[in-house]
Structure 1
């Protein structure tokens, strides 16, 4: 019997009580201080969280990418160890915030009521909110804009085991999280190592300094819509990769596909017939001057994402691409470099099958055990306060904080 099973057997053999969200938490919406008032943002020291913070830095956060000035705060800050839950736009995300803070209007902040603070380990609530994320995705309002039905949101039920049980669950889930982080760090390091050797091999000899424009060796062509085509065997490429398969192709010779919008560094080498949509260019390559596979490797080294021409969605134009300058060695040297880089690429491909596959397997295993660990036998008792009393309490809280 595991330690967790022993604790459950000892401390809650007959199950655990459930509490409605509205019973356990005071909830407040986030907000965005006026961008037109520079004093709200200059010299800001108060963390102001957005979805970008979760995407870039994870789900347990102690600082934000943007900060606001104290004069922008309405009432009180969200207290430390609050949980922000995305209830509109990108629903299905949450984060534990370990410092006093604010968040934007896409988030609802869960602040544990004072009378229940001693009942919870903050990280246990954080892990349990993965169940809340799933519940939110299943309870959206019917509209063109994704938003959670907040009446149903308030009735989500939290299982509340004893603190010792919560701490053991946190310990187990933390160990899963740490292992995944270590595997991800190793994968990142291996990819950087590969890129270093690739760039070193593509560095031209010192005596080889003659540069050509990209337009001297390729014709850049636009993609086309594919929706009028039938199903078939030819892949359709967008800037993110293969989208579907159709019964016609736009080009049947080796080509390097260059994203026009979106993930500008996501190049593709294709040596079989294909179709491409208008978010990605294809290239007709003069193979008497450059081997298509060599061009693929060479353009990876050029980091085309640095040529972005747009302030919103990253974009490239033919005009900008045509002016890219490259040093092209002899065809024989190109072939030797391709052979070396193909070997490196094979190692990287094995890596992409190995470590990422292991990370994905670990993530699925983690999600399975997380769901299992957070599922308890119930006493059949669901604790909920009178909604009228709750509304009065929350209105009093809002008056104190606004």
Structure 2
């Protein structure tokens, strides 16, 4: 493995570039042999490293900024910063500015001319303001890229219909939303900006909050068939089996699934528990076995990657939630929104909303909405619980 890695990293003289030597050490100490092999076999990754080594010059942020901002470039930048080979920059600068320059260059002039001020004075301005106030999040760069990308898609769609933005109507917006994924609802922010700046009439797109109810819910037979696959098909990657089961059984979303740690997995006798929010949840035996396997996986070969239950390819980071969502969709056919809706409806039919909120870490108002959707009324339970909580404790009990 070391020889193959050195071959990938070596320049024309057969020596490893000084800055890439830190990458070599990080891969050998922080990644599993399977992950290193994957990198060595990845054509874009190997071509990038060969080009950098052949250039025989310092690797700089400015040079990396000129390259298409794909995953292999972002990963290399992250490792070089993490090892001290490059100076750190803000996440927005690393993940957005180079990407935006390449993205706008690929757009038609009319689209680019409109997106440039929207990106600079609306999306990026707010993101950088939050960053300056310490309110940044790991997904801030995705927030920026998604809104700009969706705006470009909408403008392109209008152009294919020989329509202009200034003449766009609410019917156009509604039709466009109905023809694509829920991600299209992120156009709401762009439409507010275009109206404020006099480009369009007042147009609206429904807000899709994380606690909102899905437009449709997965059918029970489909849900159970998908769950059986997750629990029993050992040809599926272990992390996908566990993640899919957590979505289908508990309505747990990928952004929270990837934040689970090995410490969240506990055992009491023969029973195994997983803490999804603040309280441990008893796992059914089949899922308990899968979670135990996942918790033990690579824990000895790469101890520095603990405590994540779903470790990412970057040292010390957890799995990317967006990538996990995409794999659930493409590999297993599990679409998170309808699958989560089915799971929460099922749970809400058996649990009062306060318990549901406490176990899963959702808001009490969201839990109440799911309980209402499941056609259960737990007001009697709440009244009894309140009465019991106000009763004085009997020392004899």
Q: TM-score range by the shorter chain?
A: under 0.3
| TM-score normalised per structure 1 | 0.24
Of Structure 1 and Structure 2, the greater strand share is in: 1
The alignment's TM-score, normalised by the length of structure 2, stands at: 0.25
- Give the number of the structure whose residues are more often helix, by fraction: 2
Please identify the structure whose Cα radius of gyration is greater: 1
